[in-house]
């Protein structure tokens, strides 16, 4: 680790071996215990004011370093389907089509046997993402900001690869053609990258096939959804901040009238999954029905969406509520609250269309303390629905948000996410978190520090010193 100092300890080999064996049985090791001991010794020995000064400086340096690393990172987005399983992820390695083509060839040729698992395991430092995040990165790619090097959809089952081209948009090729193009581009050693690109493009020119995509295709029939069209599955699954409902149409005729013939199961044994979420963050049904057409063997054949009109969404929300209330005597918010209490961490808000305008963020009210954190209340002087993906600005409900930025005075760090509390008109309160970028954390740190000085006459570091001293004195009193 940069700017770190190492130390050395000596111990008879027999003692070391015996100690290592005993610690291994406890799931630990000597190195970890020595590291923990040094940290404990540092925490207990260094004077508090000096300790706070050092920890504050280290925290700011880590945030600035993380921001510098983020500025240098170039993303690539992937959606890979193999053996009926979808993997959607991003990397920060800046892979371009040439790199992906070469890697795909090696995988198809069996040259990468050292890496276990499917094709998605042949990428490094991957981060799972949602399909919505994939689409965001694809849009950034088209803006040519330099932050996204490529977006790729690869179906190993169907044998095609789609890549997003700045000039021509999405283009699809057969995997075998991409593999052959990679062979031509990479067969000569020490070839300049520009020449590799030229050979790849030359071979693929004119070989693109009909556009293929994992993105959903809209489908519509001859009439809108009506009351009585759908029946509900008994199982309701918690997913993020939504309750996932599965439906069936009451008849094939109703299904075709609403969805159109594109969603028909033409293959014997195939089936159609119809899903829609009740979004607790928005207090309404999602804007679309998600339709997945499966083959008899379970492989996904097609993905569709059915866009719900305003009246259809209201109708579906009403029917979801009535169905669950009739079966359990509980409202949807009751059930969501029950499941929400059982998970370890609140769900993430990712549906916003804009980033938090940190420059416009201010604080009001007293700074409160709870569970080792200082809570800074952020008044809503920006569009909360655009930032958080909520629905509180609507004239159709009386919900509101309480938003907090938090500083851990025991750790000396601000939280990497805002706490967003939705207060519903029916009395329920739901907690979410809104992740902050490294740059946003640095900026908020400075604003929180200034507000703390304004309110208490002390900086964050000085306030933390006082709280730690108070904690130490209380601990001493308890020991005495």
The pLDDT, as a whole number, for residue 111 is 60
pLDDT of 181 above 90: yes
CA distance 260 to 222: 7
How far is C-alpha 327 from the chain's CA centre? Answer: 33
Range from 1-10, 46-55, 142-151 carrying the lowest mean pLDDT: 1-10
Residues 159, 434: Cα–Cα separation, whole Å: 38
Asked if residues 444 and 438 have their Cβ atoms less than 8 Å apart, the reply is: no
Instruction: Please tell me which residue, 469 or 114, carries the higher pLDDT value.
Output: 469
Do 104 and 182 contact (CB within 8 A), yes or no? yes
pLDDT (average), residues 219-224: 89
Main-chain dihedrals φ then ψ at residue 264, nearest 5 degrees: -70, 145
> What integer is the mean pLDDT of 97-122?
81
Q: What is the pLDDT of residue 424?
A: 93
pLDDT tens digits, one per residue of 272-304? 888 898 999 999 999 888 888 887 777 777 778
CA 386 to chain centre: 17
407 token code pair:
């500083």
Do 273 and 292 contact (CB within 8 A), yes or no?
yes
pLDDT band at 305 (very low <50, low <70, confident <90, very high): confident
Instruction: Dig out the tokens for 293 from the structure.
Output: 């057409």
CA 330, CA 160: separation in Å to the nearest integer?
47
Under the banding of pLDDT at 50, 70 and 90, the label for residue 117 is: low
114: pLDDT strictly greater than 50: no
Torsion of CA 78, 81, 86, 89, to 10 degrees: -10
Q: What tokens appear for 112 in the block?
A: 């990468």
Mean pLDDT for the chain?
A: 86
- Please determine, for residue 478, whether its predicted confidence score (pLDDT) is greater than 60: no
Q: Compute CA 54 distance to the chain's CA centroid, rounded to the nearest angstrom.
A: 32
What percent of the chain clears pLDDT 90, i.e. is strictly above it? 37
Q: What is the pLDDT of residue 216?
A: 65
Question: pLDDT confidence of 193, banded at 50, 70, 90?
Answer: very high
What are the tens digits of pLDDT across the range 367-383?
Answer: 999 988 999 999 999 99
What percent of the chain lies above the pLDDT cut of 70? Answer: 96
| pLDDT number for residue 49 | 76
- pLDDT at position 326 is 86
Give the pLDDT of residue 160. Answer: 94
Q: Is the dihedral of CA 255, 256, 259, 261 positive or negative?
A: positive
Highest mean pLDDT, choosing among 52-56, 134-138, 148-152, 303-307 = 148-152
Q: What is the mean pLDDT of residues 245-266?
A: 86
pTM of the model: 0.67
Residue 67 has pLDDT above 80, yes or no: no
Is residue 113 predicted with pLDDT exceeding 60? no
Q: Which two tokens stand for residue 213?
A: 């995509």
More confident residue, 476 or 130: 130
The Cα 6–Cα 163 span in angstroms is 47
- In this prediction, residue 116 carries a pLDDT of 56
Structure tokens at 456: 């208490």
The predicted-structure confidence for 84-106, as pLDDT tens digits, reads as follows 778 899 998 899 999 999 999 99
The mean per-residue pLDDT over the stretch 423-435 comes to 93
- The confidence band for 479, taking pLDDT boundaries of 50, 70 and 90, is very low
- What CA–CA distance (Å, rounded) separates 308 from 264? 19
pLDDT band at 167 (very low <50, low <70, confident <90, very high): confident
Distance CA 176, CA 155 (A): 12
Residue 439 has a pLDDT of 80
| pLDDT at residue 475, as a whole number | 58
Q: Is residue 1 very low, low, confident or very high in pLDDT (cuts 50, 70, 90)?
A: low
Q: With helix as H, strand as E and coil as C, how does the chain read? A: CCCCCCCCCCCCHHHHHHHHHHHHHCCCCHHHHHHHHHHHHHHHHCCHHHHHHHHHHHHHHHHHHHHHHHHHCEEEEEEEEECCEEEEEEECECCCHHHHHHHHHHHHCCCCCCCCCCHHHHCCCEEECCHHHHHHHHHHHHHCCCCEEEEEEEECCCCEEEEEECCCEEEEEEHHHHHHHHHHHHCCCCCCHHHHHHHHHHHHCCCCECCCCCCCEECCCCCCCCCCCEEECCCCEEECCEEEEEEEECCHHHHHHHHCHHHCCCCCCCEEEEEEEEECCCCEECCEEEEEEECCCCCEEEEEEEECCHHHHHHHHHHHHHHHHHHHCCCHHHHHHHHHHCCCCCCECCCCCCCCCHHHCCCEEEEEEECCEEEEEECCCCCHHHHHCCCCCCCCCCCEEEEEEEEECCCCEECCEEEEEEECCCCCEEEEEEECCHHHHHHHHHHHHHHHHHHHCCCHHHHHHHHHHHHHHHHHHHHC
The domain ranges of the chain are 11-70, 73-202, 215-335, 356-474
Q: How far is CA 307 from CA 55, 245, 331, in A?
A: 52, 16, 25
């Amino acid at each position: 680790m940069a700017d770190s100092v190492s130390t050395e300890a000596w111990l008879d080999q027999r003692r070391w071996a015996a100690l290592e064996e005993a610690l291994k049985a406890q799931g630990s090791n000597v190195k970890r215990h020595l590291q923990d001991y040094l940290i404990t010794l540092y925490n207990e020995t260094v004077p508090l004011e000096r300790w706070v000064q050092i920890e504050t400086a280290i925290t700011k340096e880590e945030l600035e370093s993380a921001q510098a690393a983020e500025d240098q990172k170039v993303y690539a987005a992937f959606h890979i389907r193999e053996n009926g399983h979808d993997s959607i992820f991003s990397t920060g390695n800046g892979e371009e089509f040439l790199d992906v083509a070469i890697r795909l060839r090696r995988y198809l040729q069996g040259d990468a046997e050292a890496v276990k698992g499917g094709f998605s395991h042949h990428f490094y430092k991957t981060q799972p993402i949602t399909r919505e995040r994939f689409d965001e990165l694809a849009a950034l790619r088209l803006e040519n900001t330099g932050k996204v090097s490529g977006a790729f959809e690869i179906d190993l089952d169907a044998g095609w690869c789609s890549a997003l081209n700045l000039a021509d948009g999405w283009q699809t090729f057969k995997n075998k053609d991409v593999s052959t193009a990679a062979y031509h581009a990479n067969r000569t050693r020490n070839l300049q990258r520009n020449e590799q690109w030229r050979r790849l493009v030359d071979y693929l020119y004119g070989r693109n096939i009909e556009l293929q995509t994992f993105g959903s295709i809209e489908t519509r029939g001859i009439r809108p959804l009506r009351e009585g069209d759908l029946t509900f599955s008994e199982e309701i699954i918690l997913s993020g901040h939504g309750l996932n409902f599965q439906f069936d149409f009451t008849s094939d005729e109703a299904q075709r009238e609403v969805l159109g013939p594109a969603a028909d199961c033409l293959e014997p044994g195939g089936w159609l999954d119809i899903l829609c979420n009740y979004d607790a963050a928005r207090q309404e049904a999602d804007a679309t029905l998600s339709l997945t057409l499966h083959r008899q063997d379970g492989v996904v054949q097609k993905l569709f969406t059915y866009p719900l009109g305003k009246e259809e969404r209201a109708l579906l929300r009403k029917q979801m509520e009535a169905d669950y209330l009739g079966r359990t005597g509980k409202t949807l918010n009751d059930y969501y609250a029950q499941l929400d209490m059982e998970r370890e961490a609140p769900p993430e808000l990712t549906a916003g269309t804009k980033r938090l305008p940190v420059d416009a963020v201010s604080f009001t009210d007293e700074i409160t303390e709870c569970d080792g954190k200082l809570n800074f209340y952020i008044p809503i002087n920006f569009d909360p629905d655009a930032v958080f993906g909520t629905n509180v600005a609507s004239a159709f409900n009386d919900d509101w948000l309480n938003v907090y930025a938090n500083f851990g005075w025991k750790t000396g760090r601000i939280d990497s996410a805002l706490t967003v509390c939705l207060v519903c008109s029916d009395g329920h309160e739901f907690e979410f978190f809104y992740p902050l970028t490294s740059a946003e954390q640095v900026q908020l740190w400075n604003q929180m520090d200034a507000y703390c000085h304004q309110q208490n006459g002390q900086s964050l570091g000085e306030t933390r010193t006082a709280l730690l001293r108070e904690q130490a004195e209380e601990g001493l009193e308890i020991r005495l």
